[in-house]
Amino acid sequence: MAEPVLWPAGVPMALQRSGYMRQPQDIVHRMKMDTGPALRRLVDGSAGQRVKGVLSLSAGQATLFETWRLETLDRGQNRFSWQITDNGRSVVARLAAQPQLTRSGARWRYALDIDCDAPAPTLAALEALAELEDEGPASWPGAVPFRPQRAGFSSVPEDSVLRTGEGGYQAQALASRADGTVLSVVLHLSPAELAAFETWFETEAAFGARDILFPSLSGGTHLGHFHEVWSLAAANTADWAVSCKIYLEAIA
């Protein structure tokens, strides 16, 4: 495979905060049971990233970028070296789609959709994840505040009623009285808190495959796991908004 090309000199890498989104690749296989928590297993040792955002350029920078895209990147098919905007990680990336160009005054705005390759995990990292995967629950990181925002919060009881039949009234049967809850939360994290969260998620949380002791909103902790992989967007402040969907197990 050819070496990734360099980002064009004179063109900024950072995407605008407005409209910025990032989501890690979900590398956990979840087998949903009729009721109760899903069975989870890691299928890889590292996750890629999908990043979307806007690159705001001057006319001169736009010319450099277009020349690079057409010639060096060969119309977008080649891989390139890049830095993720929110955490500064160096990655090998590729354009997931051709950039959409719009104009805003004297600025040229390119909407980019970027796939970042997953780094090759070391043998030590793979061994550590394999050991953690079947251990007891991990604790939520102390350096990351668990303060769900009002916007984006929801709590939905698990549906433990089995329904059968087509047309008319359905036959229903209660499958379990130990109902879990799917909780959707948005956490506003500073850049340092985001870095701590992401490191913890990729190690102690085993990318979401491991059970977690989440801080309870009423005090104490509550056992659960990540119902799906988290996603990132820009908050109204300098913080980042991390959206998580969490399955909380019923308290016996």
Residue 36 confidence (pLDDT): 73
How does pLDDT run along the chain (252 residues), one tens digit per residue? Answer: 689 999 999 999 999 999 999 999 999 999 887 667 888 999 999 999 999 999 999 999 999 999 999 999 998 889 999 999 999 999 999 999 999 999 989 999 999 999 999 999 999 999 999 998 888 999 999 999 999 999 999 999 887 666 776 666 667 766 665 578 999 999 999 999 999 999 999 999 999 999 999 999 888 999 999 999 999 999 988 899 999 999 998 765
Residue 163 confidence (pLDDT): 72
Task: Kindly list the domain boundaries of the chain, sorted by start residue.
Answer: 21-37+46-116, 121-248
Q: Which of 26, 58, 54, 52 is nearest to 40 (CA)?
A: 26
pTM of the model: 0.89
**Phi and psi angles of residue 218, each rounded to the nearest 5 degrees, phi first:** -105, 10
Q: Output b/e per residue, 89-105; b: 16+ Cβ within 10 A.
A: eebbbbbeeebeeeeee
Please, are residues 194 and 231 in contact by the beta-carbon 8 Å criterion?
no
Residue 175 confidence (pLDDT): 61
CA distances, 100 to each of 63, 113, 213 (Å)? 15, 9, 43
Residue 154 confidence (pLDDT): 95
Residue 89 confidence (pLDDT): 94
Residue 78 confidence (pLDDT): 95
Amino acid at 199: T
Strands (E), 3-78: 21-24, 28-31, 39-42, 49-57
Query: Burial, 135: exposed, middle or buried (Cβ in 10 Å; 0-12, 13-18, 19+)?
Result: exposed
The rounded distance, in Å, linking the Cα atoms of 214 and 148 is: 12
Q: Which two tokens stand for residue 223?
A: 């056992």
Residue 164 confidence (pLDDT): 72
Residue 251 confidence (pLDDT): 64
The rounded distance, in Å, linking the Cα atoms of 152 and 181 is: 16
Radius of gyration of the chain (CA): 22
Residue 139 confidence (pLDDT): 96
Helix ranges (DSSP H) in the chain: 59-67, 123-133, 191-202
Residue 178 confidence (pLDDT): 59
